[in-house]
Amino acid sequence: MNARKGISYSLRYVQRSLQSSSCKNSLLGDRRLSMSHTCQTQTQTAAEPLTIATQEKGIRTICLNDPRKRNALSLAMLQSLHSDLIRDQDSLRVIIIKAKGPVFSAGHDLKELTKETGSGYHEEVFSTCTNVMDLIQDLPVPVIAQVNGLATAAGCQLVATCDIAVASTGSHFATPGVSVGLFCTTPGVAVGRSLPKKVALEMLFTGRPISAQDALLHGLVSKVVPEDQVEEETLKIAERICETSKSVVALGKAAFYSQMALERKHAYRFAEKIMVQNLQLNDAQEGIQAFIHKRKPEWTQ
């Protein structure tokens, strides 16, 4: 998505090194949302949805809800996550993605990626995953990953794609596809844009996990806190975002990702124009007047 399109969109509204078995049933990630296939290897009853979405005061929490399969990003899981991300945008201010169980997500379900399922199905899995990752950064609201456990392959990709990530001290992150003969190429897109090149490549070439502290050091996550504080810290960030102007955050998020793709001089010229656009928003003038008159701003949204 180019810079102009991004702005207008927003304004419109392993356990092998830990335990390798936790990665072996799931991996990787990648576009095309389609309901033409029902997940052949994973079914879920209405009483046990793959994702559970709740919303309160503008904060939507989406919980990956398949701990038995280590919250694998199967085709059905990706479709469910996409649906929860995109619906009902009007009152939405921020999204939190978390998971049930000790594994945030072990990535794709390898049982969906066998020779028997065929290349067409594989293409659909990776295309749908790419759609989900693109959507997270194209949405006009911030998306926060709340990680308390292991995130591998496409699960690590999901963390790297989110705008903000809060992790527990015991969390670990890995791209272990190389260990089973499936290089984490699509996770590498997000991981390589979050971590220094040599750190990302070591993860990709060795499959070895990094700790939460190393993830913080290298920029994969935003904060690391004790396990019993992960939810509280994530909510603090979400609540602070809710105190700001929705239109200003939407403009700012789209502009940030757009300028990151530009050469520095072009990025500055682009950012200058966005600052001028920002000043045309009612909330910008309201915020300036509130500052001048030492009062709390009253945002339009």
Distances from the Cα of 30 to the Cαs of 92, 108, 123, 189, 247, in angstroms?
26, 9, 8, 10, 30
- pLDDT for residue 47: 57
- The answer to whether 26 touches 177, Cβ cutoff 8 Å, is no
Distances from the Cα of 2 to the Cαs of 5, 114, 129, 265, in angstroms?
5, 35, 20, 17
Say if domain 14-242 classifies as CATH 3.40.50.2300. no
Could you tell me what percentage of the chain is helix, strand and coil, using 3-state DSSP and rounding each to the nearest 5? Answer: 50, 15, 35
User: Residue 25 is inside which H or E element, if any?
Assistant: none
**Model confidence, pTM:** 0.85
The ranges assigned to domains in the chain are: 14-242
pLDDT in tens for each of the 301 residues of the chain? 444 444 544 444 344 444 443 433 444 333 334 433 333 334 444 558 999 999 999 999 999 999 999 999 999 999 999 999 999 989 999 999 999 999 999 999 999 999 999 999 999 999 999 999 999 999 999 999 999 999 999 999 999 999 999 999 999 999 999 999 999 999 999 999 999 999 999 999 999 999 999 999 999 999 999 999 999 999 999 999 999 999 999 999 999 999 999 999 999 999 999 999 999 999 999 999 999 999 999 999 7
